[in-house]
Structure 1
């Protein structure tokens, strides 16, 4: 039910996310940050709890994880999270795959945290570098060829990834599609093998197709369904002087039940009293997975390589000490330098056993330290 009226009861700031006067701003909104919303102004930090059970928030350093493709070229990415609409995996491939791949369940969107190389595809060669998104449409045959140690996040959507509607800002902001890199047609001849394996990526098992000829033998292509890369350095960040904008403003691509957005370097909110940090919230209808690419926030380095999971309905947010620091340093810090990739999903994300084991190991190590 949509409402044309917003009510106000008790002690509240005059404007949203401004001049809290010691209160804790807790947002409870439907449909992410675009539906009906309640702002609860609390005395205490709503994230100050101890969690037990399957909906506990999760933080894991992916730099310590060892996917199958880290040491073995025949290996594959490590599953991290999944639901019916989306799968998230980690790849740290060091050597060219001796096989080719084809996702028959859905589209793939790779994010390059670290490393250089290229993807060989039916459409041609796609070089990649840190900060690149690599989009591979469903059923594209490809092979990853790294030049150095890689660290890539793989986001799979069972429905088609789409660029969100342009809206009132027009077709060039914040995402200018003319800045994507598209492969030039190339029929590959190397390596020369007696037989070529194409592994089909799908849920529930493994299927391989074996060809007597090179599977990437297309000499040309045309159409509007093709792979591409786009680097986050080319994304125009939407900002506001007076209020911290909701994360949905920074939406990059979306599929049914899956939304990929990012938080990138920008000027900090300059108006006096404006909160510069994301407010406390429980994202009533979406799970949130955040991957920290790097950067810093008000002089504090971000935990590069960390992945976190906040289940829908469970409070999360920046610690209170960081909020207080941002207020104290209002006249010192004029920019936010963070680089965070965020994946919101309508269905609950289920962490893999490998990721849960890594989380337990980290907690045990911290307890013994």
Structure 2
């Protein structure tokens, strides 16, 4: 077997949804025609379409690739054990109205790569109808070697919590560390290396409309996430001879096929259907400078729209370092019940709405119309403290928010790291009413 990595690993083309043009070897891109009679350098031209051919120009996503071997050159996929990976519709356990919280997911006792280390928390919608989401966590202790992954069900938004990920994709290389995110579109083949030896984090698998930047409305032209800070890879390819495995997630289950070449053999490409990464430190937080706590939607980084205007199939929201300066107001999130389902994770630090028990690598789930809010200790402190300007620093929490209730997998509902007494954080709340 020979393996070569061509092109500098970590150079990027800036932009989000923009048309990119990149080649690992000069002259690999054909001039003027997407599919000439013979592509340069003996390559094969192939189009990868992320939307229907006739989608409007501003939402159409497709990329032309020029590769060593057509992606059609492989044998039959056969079903394999899916481990802890599941998809919607789920019917393993009843829909749970309880508030739920998990400790950090433990690393596997033996070696496990990214695919082996996927653990599905829950899902909603229907993978075949292309609506809803699945939420996973991963804990991996081994790089993928001669093994590749492709998700035909949805795009994957990766949120590393511990350990960096080196994503080698068909269209190039992304190095993603905690504090950054990456998105790999449906149908893109990739593998995961672990520069730090092991890694853990969160995954939003989006079955619905592709993630995009939210509209800014009255905020205006600037604020939140900027187009220019989303980074797409430059072309880099593998020239591999010998047997490799490609694992495909299709219809919620895993399938495997043997290839005699690496599927990451794209020498050049142009288009706007591409993996990308984003440094969350570049997010421009907007908040109140008068009174009241703003809705968490003001912290939306990416959104998957639905057919209902203003109601997302899924949102990715972050709670990043920021100043709190609201006067005569309760600064943490208020007590609330929300039609949207909220799954929260913590990358590092402490979340300002919980005193203890919510740890980096852990998670909480408050399903649709489930009552929640600050615990008793946080309420007591926030309702009596002096309201001087306060910096929330050294923290990064996030939320996957979705319009449908999330149904758990049986594994998540019975996991050893599911906290049995989460409700106790509200037990100390007393009646303060006086007429």
TM-score bracket for this pair, using the shorter chain length: 0.7 to 0.9
One of 202, 205, 220 as aligned partner of 1:153: 202
Secondary structure of 2:144's counterpart equals: coil
Alignment of 1:316-335 (within 5 A): 316-331=372-387, 334-335=390-391
Residues 244, 258 of structure 2: 8 Å contact kept: yes
Q: Does 1:115 align with 2:160?
A: no
In 2, the alpha carbon distance for the partners of 1:144 and 1:118 equals 6
Aligned to 2:303: 254
Aligned to 1:72: 112
Aligned to 2:13: none
One of 97, 103, 106 as aligned partner of 1:61: 103
In 1, the alpha carbon distance for the partners of 2:205 and 2:177 equals 20
Alignment of 1:165-184 (within 5 A): 165-184=215-234
Aligned to 1:341: 398
1:45-102 Cα offsets, whole Å, 9 max, x none, are xxxxxxx9821111001243x469x732372401111112101111111221131111
- Cα separation, partners in 2 of 1:312 and 1:97, compared to 1, 3 Å: same
Aligned to 2:343: 289
Secondary structure of 2:372's counterpart equals: coil
Higher relative helix content:
1
In 1, the alpha carbon distance for the partners of 2:363 and 2:280 equals 18
Aligned to 2:324: 268
- Cα separation, partners in 2 of 1:104 and 1:334, compared to 1, 3 Å: same
In 1, the alpha carbon distance for the partners of 2:410 and 2:270 equals 42
- Cα separation, partners in 2 of 1:170 and 1:94, compared to 1, 3 Å: farther
Residues 166, 174 of structure 2: 8 Å contact kept: yes
Q: Does 1:92 align with 2:134?
A: no
| TM superposition score normalised by structure 2 | 0.66
Q: Does 1:280 align with 2:335?
A: yes
Residues 182, 227 of structure 1: 8 Å contact kept: yes
- Cα separation, partners in 2 of 1:269 and 1:119, compared to 1, 3 Å: same
1:81-130 Cα offsets, whole Å, 9 max, x none, are 11121011111112211311111011110011121231000111101111
Residues 292, 341 of structure 1: 8 Å contact kept: yes
Secondary structure of 1:54's counterpart equals: coil
Aligned to 2:362: 306
Secondary structure of 1:195's counterpart equals: strand
Secondary structure of 1:258's counterpart equals: strand
- Cα separation, partners in 2 of 1:193 and 1:329, compared to 1, 3 Å: farther
Secondary structure of 1:206's counterpart equals: strand
Aligned to 1:81: 122
Aligned to 1:46: none
Q: Does 1:210 align with 2:265?
A: no
Instruction: State the superposition RMSD in angstroms.
Output: 2.7
Give how far 1:167 is off.
Answer: 2.5
Secondary structure of 1:194's counterpart equals: strand
- Cα separation, partners in 2 of 1:205 and 1:236, compared to 1, 3 Å: same
| TM superposition score normalised by structure 1 | 0.77
Aligned to 1:43: none
Aligned to 2:270: 222
Give how far 1:324 is off.
Answer: 2.2
Residues 168, 191 of structure 2: 8 Å contact kept: yes
Moved more, 334-343 or 165-174: 165-174
Residues 67, 78 of structure 1: 8 Å contact kept: no
In 2, the alpha carbon distance for the partners of 1:178 and 1:248 equals 21
